[in-house]
Structure 1
C-alpha cells in the first residue's frame, strides 16, 4: 500500500512574515493527476517582517547561554555543518539563550509578542520558541507564527471571525532579535469556551490551528482538549502563554468510542437532487462500519424528489425551496417546544401519556353529533412553510384532512386558521416529533449538499464580481450556512463546481470556510476528480469538510485510478487537489474508459421510448459486473418493493432528436474525433472552420442546411464540439445536464444517437438499479447535476473513519478498495485493486 503524504508548499516563504530566506523544496509538487501543477498553497502572500539590523544597541541577550549539551540536543540543526549536497540552509548557532531584552522589554522563551510588520501594516503575532547567536555574533529569535483570519484562506471575510481570535500554525522561521515590538497576552481556550463566548481577559485567544495544506482549520490537540471552566485562572506572568483550564483536567476519550457505537447516524441532504451524494456517502460509511441513514432530503425539483423517494423510501423527502425549509425548521422547533418538550426533552412515558389523553379526547369527539360542524378537522397530514395555495400569503401551513370528506378535499390551511384545533395540532406535532419528520437542532448528525451558485458561472454575462453575495443566484450559499448554524450537525460536507474558486478570487469559497470557522467548525478544503475514483469522466469538483470541535475532522481519500488532468484550476487553489506526490510510488489502477463502462448495454434507437428492458448481454468488465448488482446484493442498500427484477435494465433510452438533428447525426462518421467538421462543405484551417467555396451547400430533407450556421460560429469557429462523436477509448470531460448535441460531444461511438440516460448514469457511477423519475430531459438533468457516486462513497468512507476515531491529523487517507467492487455486500475482504 503506498504511503500517504501531506502536500508541502513549494513557496512556503509566502506563508508568514520573516526576514531570513526560507529553504525551497526540491520535491515535485503534489499532483492529482499526471500533469504537474506548480503553484503556491496560500490564497494571499504575506510580506516579510520589516528588515532590521541583527546587531542593534537596543537588543541583546540576557544571562548565561544555555549549556551546550542541552542546546545541541534541543536544536541539533543549528550545530551541524552543511554538506554541499545538504538541503539544510538554516542559520547556525554559537550560543542559545533563554532571555533577551529589546527596547527595555525582557522576553523569555515561549513568550508571545508582536513582530515588526511592513511599513503601515499591522504587526505580526508569534511565540518566541528559540533565541540564538550565530558564529558571526548576529542575534536571532525563531518565531512560531499565529494567523489572523484575514491571513488565512478566509481572507476578505475576516470580519466573520472575532478580531481577537487567531489561529496557531506550525510554521516557524528566524528573525533578527530587534524585530520584537512588545509582549502580548495570548490565551488558549477550549472550543466549548469559544462556543459560549467565555473569553478571559487577553489581547488574543486561540482554539484552533491553521495548516496551509488543504487550507485546514483543526483542533489544537483532540487528545488533550482544554476544558473551559467558570473557575479558570490566568497565569500572573505578564506576556506568557496562558491556558484556561479546569480543576479536573482533561476529558476522558470515552465519548468518541461511545458515539461510534451508535446504531445509526442521521443525514440531511440539502439540494439533494436525485440523491447521488447521500447515496454514495451512505455506501462509503457502511464500508467503514458506520450505518449512515439519509433521514431527510430537500430539493426544489419535484422529479428529483420523486427519484430520491423511489430509491430511498425510508427518507423524508421535501420538495420546497431551501429558504422555506429553514423557516419551517424554526417554526417546527417552536411547536415541539410548545406541545412536546415544554422547555425540556420529553421522555417516552410523557409521550405515551399524551397519546392516551388524545385517544380519550378522540373517543369523546366521536360521540358528538356529526351535524355539530359543517367542516371539522379530523387530522393534520403534513406541514410546510411558504405559499402552498399560491395566494401570496407565505407562512406556516398544515395540510388538513376534513372529517366526513375524502382526500380529494384535503386543503392547506394557515396556522392562524387552526387556532380552535389545538388537539389535532398537538397530536400531529407529538407524532411528528417521535417519527422525526423534521430535524431539531442537534438531531441531524451530518449535513451534506451542493448549494447552487449560478452567479459564478462563466455563462452568466451579468455576474456581480464586486458583491457576489448580493446576487440572488448565489444566495443559496448563505441559506446553506444558516441551516448549519441552526441545526448544528456534527459533520458538514459542501460540494460545488470549481468556478466557486475561480470567480472573484474565490470569494464564495472563502466565505464558506469563513462561515464554518465562525461557527466553531473545523474545516478542510479539497478538490477531487471523479475519474480518479473509477469513472470514465474527469469532472473536477470542490469539497469542503466541516466538523465540530468534539469530532475528528475527516480527511480526503486519495485517488485509486490514474487519470490525466484536463481542468483549469485557479492558481491560488491548485495545490488543494487531492492527489499523491508525483515522486511517490503509488499503484493506481488504469483509468476506466467509455468502452469499459457501457459497451455491455444493448443497442437502442434514437426514438426508443422503453423505460425498462432486458440486458440481453453479459458483463464484459468488472465495472459492468458490479454496477449491475441488485439492491439486495449491495452494502447498506436493503431490498424493497422497488428493487429491480434480476436482469432488468432501467432508463436506457436516449433523448429523441428532432428529424433534422437526427439526419445530421446520421452523417457524422463513426470514427474517433468525428464531428460536424467532417460534414461536406466545411474546411478547417489552423483549427478554425470556414465554408468550402468549391462545394455547394448541402441541405436536409426539410430544406434546412446540413451544417447549421451556429456550428460554424460556435466559439468563433474554433470549437469541434458540435455534433461530436465520443469514442471507446476516451474519458468524458464532464457529464452535462442537457443532451442536445449542438455544442457538446455526446454522440454514441457506433449508434446514431446521444448517450442514453443510463449510459450517462453509469458515467456518474449510479448503480443500474437506481431508477429515475420524470420526463426524459428531467432525468438527464438529474444525472448531470449529481455528485459522482464513487467520489461520495470515498468521502463517506473517510467520514466513517473519523466517526470511529481512526483519523489522524493528515488531510489524506489511502483507500483499501476500488469502485464499484466495493459495493458488493458479499465481499468479506476488500478487493486487491485488480478490478
Structure 2
C-alpha cells in the first residue's frame, strides 16, 4: 500500500525544462489561502527536511513559501493548479498519481508542489481483492504532502464520474480518460465516501436497480417507516438494538423481515417480534426465492419487467405428470382453496429443490396444508395471482429497491482460530466461509440504501484480513460508500469485552453513518492488526472522560438463586428488587420500553424468563465443589497441583490423585494440558467485580470461566443474556443448549442501539463527515419509552 511517507524520486534529466509561469498569486491572497506557508521569520527555522508528511500531522512543520503560483511549465507542458499528474516512483514500480493542490516556491528558492494522492485499488485496504474493481478506477485520498516539482513526470487524464449504484459485475460507461474516480479514500479510518454529491434524487433513484428492466425503484408506501431486513438474524438481537437506537434518533425502523436457518432462533424472533416476517431457511435459498418472487411480481404486472404473463407450467409437463391433485386411485380430486405461503427449497424432502407453495385445500383445515411445487399448480393461476398480489401489497418478501436497511453477520466458521484446517490461501473456497458470498449477493440483488455487516475480529486477522477486505471490495464495486469499524460491547454499558468488526455501507444518495463513541471504560484485550487499530471506535479517546465500566455484580446480583438442575424457564424475581441502575432498567416491562409493544406478553407481575443453567454431568458438578468461592479460582485450586518455575501447572508427586465417585480423577487431564499447562480457564469461577471477556455459545466449564461466583453451577441463559444486554422480557425458545447458542451468537443489544442511533441520524442528514458520533444517552436507561424524545431533544440542543 502506498503511504504518506513513500519517498518520491526526482527525474534523472538535470536540464529538464521546469519553471513557474505567469504572475505569482498576490501576497494577500496567498496568506489567506495558505496561512501555514507564511509564518513569521522566527518560526521558519523549524523547517524540516524534504519528505512527505501526512495532511493532518504536518501543520506545525509545513514547508515555508516565498510565493505561490497557479501554473508551471514542465518539459514544455503547461501544468495548472488542480491538474492530475504522474509522479516518479521507485524503479520497477508504477508511477504514483496525484492532484496538484499547491504550486509554490520555497524559502530555499526551490520549486515545490503539494500533492493530494490518488490510490489505486490495490493500494487501499482492498489490496489483492482489487480484481473486483473496474479497470481504470482510482480513489482520491485524504493524504497530502510536499514534493519537489522535479518529481512530476507528466500529466494524466483522470475523469470525475458520478457515483451510482451498480451491480458488482456491471461495467460503467466512461468518458475518454486514463483513469476515473468517484470516491475519496480516507486514512486511517478506511473509509470510501462519495467524492461529490449525486446530482439529483431522481437520477439517483433511477440508478438503484442493477439492470435495465429494474428501472423503477419500488418505494415503501409507509413513508414514516424504514424497512429493515435482518439476515442471519439469530434470535433478533441486532435488529432489536438497531430499531431501538433508530427510535432514539426519531426514526421508525421496522424489522420487516428476518431470515435464519436455526428453527429455534426463528421461534424466538416470532414471539418477541410478531411484526416481523420470519423465514426459517438458508440464506442461499432465500436469495433464490427473492429472484423468483420478482419474476412472479413482473409476470402479474405488479412491477415493470421483462417477464411476460405466461402459464405457470406448460401443457406437456401436465400431460406427462397427470393431475397433481388427484388421489393415487384417481377417484378423488382435491381443490385448492388458497395459497398461504411460499418458499424455495425441498420441503417434502424429495431431493428436488424448487419453488413451492403451501396449499390450503378446499374442505380441509390448516393441519392438512401441504407444500406443492409450482409445476403442480398449472391449473391454479388465479389462486397464484391472488397470493402474489396480496403478498406484494403486504411486503411479504422484499423486492429490489424496497429495502431501506440490511443488517447481518454471515457465519464464517472457516476463519475460527479453533479450526486446524483453515484455508489461508483461498478462504472463499472453504464452504464454511461462503455465506459471505451469499450475503453480498443478496445486497447486490436488493440494493438497500444502507448495509451493516458484523463479524468477529478474525475477519481482519485471518489470511491478512482476506474476508474483511473482500466485504469492502464487494460493496465498493457496487459503488456503496463504506466504513470499517470495531466496537467493544462493554464500552456501551455491559460487563463484557466482546470486540466485534462492523462494516457500514451506504448508497451515494445517503450519508455514510459514523461509529458511536464509547460511553464506558473498558479496555480491549483482543490483539488487533496494526493496520486496523485506529478503526476501533474510541481509539485515542481519553478514558477518564467516560463512565466506569460495569461489573458482573452490576448485571446479575439481583437474580434468584437456582441450582444446577433448575427446570423452570419462567419464574418471579426476588422480593428485594433491583440493586443497581442496570438491573432496574433491564427488568422493565415490554410496554415501558422502545421495543414494539405487540411482541411477547406483558403481565401485571413481570416474569423472568430462561434463568436456567446447563445441567452439568455428575462428574463435573462434583468437580465444582473443589473450586473455592473466591476471585480467580479455577481448576488449579483443586488438590494435588502446583506451579513450576515456568508457571506451568504440575501434579504433585507427593499427593495421591483424588478420584470422583465415578472413579474418574477430580483433576481431568484435558484441564492440565490446556494451553501448554498455562491456562487458568478450565473450571474458572467468575467474580463479582469481573468484566467477562466474551459470552460464548457453549456453557461447558471445561475450558471457560463460566461458573457462578457463589453457586455451584454455570451462569444461566438469563445471566448470559443480561451480559449481552437482552431485556428480561425477551424470551428464548428451544432446549437450554440452543438458548445458549442464540445468546452467544447475538450482537450485544447496546451495540445495536448505538449503531441504530448513528444510522437514524445519518439517514436524516444530521451527521457530518466525521467517522464517529457522540451518543446523547447510555444503556440501559435508553430503553425507556420516553427516552426517545429525551435523546432527540438533547441531540438537537447540541
**TM-score calculated relative to the size of structure 2:** 0.89
For residues 439-454 of structure 1, the aligned pairs below 5 Å read 439-454=398-413
The answer for the alignment partner of 1:209 in structure 2 is 184
SS for the counterpart of 1:779 is helix
Provide the C-alpha distance between the structure 1 equivalents of 2:37 and 2:301, rounded to a whole number of angstroms: 67
CA contact (8 A) 2:275 2:599 kept: no
Provide the C-alpha distance between the structure 1 equivalents of 2:257 and 2:525, rounded to a whole number of angstroms: 36
The answer for the alignment partner of 2:535 in structure 1 is 576
CA contact (8 A) 1:672 1:725 kept: yes
With a CA cutoff of 8 Å and minimum separation of 6, indicate the structure with the bigger relative contact order.
1
CA contact (8 A) 1:189 1:226 kept: no
SS for the counterpart of 1:589 is coil
* Cα separation, partners in 2 of 1:308 and 1:226, compared to 1, 3 Å: closer
**1:729 maps onto 2:704 in alignment:** no
The one of 78, 84, 95 equivalent to 1:123 is: 95
SS for the counterpart of 2:563 is coil
The one of 60, 71, 86 equivalent to 1:99 is: 71
SS for the counterpart of 2:675 is helix
SS for the counterpart of 1:283 is helix
| Of 674-683 and 631-640, the range deviating more from structure 2 | 631-640
The answer for the alignment partner of 2:756 in structure 1 is 796
The answer for the alignment partner of 1:519 in structure 2 is 478
Provide the C-alpha distance between the structure 1 equivalents of 2:19 and 2:202, rounded to a whole number of angstroms: 38
**1:334 maps onto 2:295 in alignment:** yes
For residues 55-134 of structure 1, the aligned pairs below 5 Å read 56-80=15-39, 81=41, 82=43, 88-134=60-106
The answer for the alignment partner of 2:116 in structure 1 is 144
* Cα separation, partners in 2 of 1:193 and 1:511, compared to 1, 3 Å: closer
CA contact (8 A) 2:415 2:458 kept: yes
The one of 672, 676, 687 equivalent to 2:631 is: 672
CA contact (8 A) 2:496 2:723 kept: yes
**TM-score calculated relative to the size of structure 1:** 0.85
* Cα separation, partners in 2 of 1:261 and 1:794, compared to 1, 3 Å: farther
The answer for the alignment partner of 1:689 in structure 2 is 649
SS for the counterpart of 1:171 is strand
The answer for the alignment partner of 1:188 in structure 2 is 160
The answer for the alignment partner of 2:174 in structure 1 is 199
**1:607 maps onto 2:535 in alignment:** no
Q: Give 1:372 shift.
A: 9.5
Provide the C-alpha distance between the structure 2 equivalents of 1:259 and 1:136, rounded to a whole number of angstroms: 63
| Of 187-196 and 314-323, the range deviating more from structure 2 | 187-196
The answer for the alignment partner of 1:415 in structure 2 is 374
The answer for the alignment partner of 1:769 in structure 2 is 729
* Cα separation, partners in 2 of 1:723 and 1:140, compared to 1, 3 Å: same
The answer for the alignment partner of 2:705 in structure 1 is 745
The answer for the alignment partner of 2:491 in structure 1 is 532
CA contact (8 A) 1:16 1:48 kept: no
| Of 152-161 and 175-184, the range deviating more from structure 2 | 175-184
SS for the counterpart of 1:662 is helix
Q: How many equivalent residue pairs?
A: 740
The answer for the alignment partner of 2:250 in structure 1 is 289
The one of 427, 438, 452 equivalent to 2:397 is: 438
Provide the C-alpha distance between the structure 2 equivalents of 1:747 and 1:644, rounded to a whole number of angstroms: 32
The answer for the alignment partner of 2:546 in structure 1 is 588
> C-alpha offsets along residues 611-634 of structure 1, whole Å, 9 cap, x if unaligned?
011102300100000000111000
The answer for the alignment partner of 1:786 in structure 2 is 746
The answer for the alignment partner of 2:456 in structure 1 is 497
The answer for the alignment partner of 1:50 in structure 2 is 9
The answer for the alignment partner of 1:160 in structure 2 is 132
* Cα separation, partners in 2 of 1:503 and 1:773, compared to 1, 3 Å: same
Provide the C-alpha distance between the structure 2 equivalents of 1:54 and 1:799, rounded to a whole number of angstroms: 54
Q: Give 1:304 shift.
A: 0.4
**1:266 maps onto 2:227 in alignment:** yes
Q: Give 1:643 shift.
A: 3.1
Provide the C-alpha distance between the structure 2 equivalents of 1:66 and 1:829, rounded to a whole number of angstroms: 52
SS for the counterpart of 1:581 is coil
Where in structure 1 are there 5+ consecutive unaligned residues?
A: 1-13, 23-46, 230-254, 346-370
Q: Give 1:646 shift.
A: 2.4
Where in structure 2 are there 5+ consecutive unaligned residues?
A: 48-58, 205-216, 307-329
Provide the C-alpha distance between the structure 1 equivalents of 2:303 and 2:226, rounded to a whole number of angstroms: 26
The answer for the alignment partner of 2:503 in structure 1 is 544
* Cα separation, partners in 2 of 1:192 and 1:565, compared to 1, 3 Å: closer
Q: Give 1:386 shift.
A: 1.3
CA contact (8 A) 1:311 1:771 kept: yes
> C-alpha offsets along residues 750-773 of structure 1, whole Å, 9 cap, x if unaligned?
000000000000000000000000
CA contact (8 A) 1:191 1:207 kept: yes
SS for the counterpart of 1:201 is coil
